[in-house]
């Protein structure tokens, strides 16, 4: 048996680093890495990224394109040098309800990554799992641009992503738990009782029973127990603090999820009206999706302001 839980997890689940910190990526040797505006904002303070700031600013001024796109593309190329698999790069969250704008910014990111020497085939474009984001992903996937649908909290979002044949979804485990804890502060949400864990297990089972190829990647973990309860999931994206916790734990890790052969017929794709009605009926998913978009926009605007203040 492997010496620690991180090594054991890697034997049953593809581990993804939820960070833009190159040192952390080198330390834990994940297969993939994910980034978003919040993580890029944190990365601004790291010395390794200072040269990228100036480069991104100069490119933005020269090409009249958003500085976020320039910085995100350059950072993605740096991260690609540290991992053999996918690097997720998020489209500007301000386009979350604009399908055409989401598609245009996604194509722009791919072009910038390619021009900077990165590999577009190993990029996942992250889009918020709004109706517009999911339909943008449907079009982009048909063009060969792989997508990661993020801020996924409700089952309707997961169904629509499968219907759109997106490459990967990121159900947010910890933020689901946050919402339920706020509603029921005295409830026991440990282990398999965690509503975020239950959500990912439901989605995973639904996909596998119906033969969907969309990858399920649990995200946004609050504690090690959530990760352990999803051992065996296709992918799990984990922050450095929890990667360190797993690496320091030498106890046995049991597989909790197994991909069975398809055994259920696929349902008819959700219409837009059905999607919106089902999402609206899920108060948690509706609130957390809206909150998540607001937070990404806030961090994106802070990131833009800091780059501008540093480079002007």
Kindly name the residue from 126, 193, 208, 288 that is annotated as catalytic.
126
Short-list 94, 121, 126, CA closest to 294: 94
Number of Cβ atoms within 10 Å of the Cβ of 268: 7
What's the CA gap between 155 and 13, in Å, rounded?
22
Pairing of strands 87-90, 32-34: parallel
Using only C-alpha atoms, the chain has a radius of gyration, in whole angstroms, of 19
Which are the contacts of 106, defined by CB distance < 8 A and separation ≥ 6?
A: 91, 125, 127, 136, 140, 145, 147
Q: Catalytic annotation on 208?
A: no
What's the CA gap between 232 and 239, in Å, rounded?
18
What's the CA gap between 238 and 177, in Å, rounded?
16
User: Which two structure tokens, joined as six digits, stand for 51?
Assistant: 């040269």
Short-list 242, 241, 243, 237, CA closest to 33: 237
Which are the contacts of 55, defined by CB distance < 8 A and separation ≥ 6?
A: 70, 74
Q: Which residues are catalytic?
A: 126
């Amino acid at each position: 048996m492997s010496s620690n839980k991180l090594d054991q997890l890697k034997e049953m689940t593809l581990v993804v680093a939820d960070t833009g910190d190159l040192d952390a990526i080198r330390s834990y040797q994940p297969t993939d890495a994910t980034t978003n505006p919040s993580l890029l904002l944190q990365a601004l303070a790291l010395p390794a990224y200072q040269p990228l700031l100036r480069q991104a600013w100069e490119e933005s001024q020269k090409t009249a394109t958003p500085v976020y796109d320039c910085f995100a593309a350059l950072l993605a190329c740096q991260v690609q040098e540290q991992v053999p698999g996918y690097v997720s790069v998020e489209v500007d969250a301000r386009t979350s309800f604009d399908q055409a704008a989401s598609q245009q910014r996604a194509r722009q990111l791919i072009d910038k990554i390619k021009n900077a020497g990165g590999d577009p085939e190993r990029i996942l474009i992250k889009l918020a799992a709004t109706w517009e984001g999911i339909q943008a992903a449907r079009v982009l996937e048909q063009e060969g641009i792989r997508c990661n649908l993020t801020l996924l909290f409700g089952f309707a979002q997961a169904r629509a992503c499968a219907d759109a044949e997106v490459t990967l979804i990121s159900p947010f485990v910890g933020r689901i738990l946050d919402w339920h804890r706020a509603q029921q502060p005295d409830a026991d949400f440990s282990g398999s009782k965690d509503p975020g864990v239950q959500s990912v297990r439901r989605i995973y089972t639904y996909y596998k029973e119906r033969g969907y190829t969309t990858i399920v990647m649990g995200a946004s973990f609050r504690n090690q127990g959530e990760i352990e309860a999803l051992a065996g999931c296709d992918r799990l994206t984990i922050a450095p603090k929890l990667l360190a916790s797993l690496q320091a734990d030498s106890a046995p890790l049991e597989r909790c999820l197994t991909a069975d052969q398809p055994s259920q017929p696929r349902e008819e794709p959700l219409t837009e009206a059905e999607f919106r009605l089902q999402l609206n009926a899920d108060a948690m998913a509706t609130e957390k999706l809206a909150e998540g978009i607001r937070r990404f926009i806030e961090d994106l605007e802070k990131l833009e302001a800091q780059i501008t203040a540093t480079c002007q």
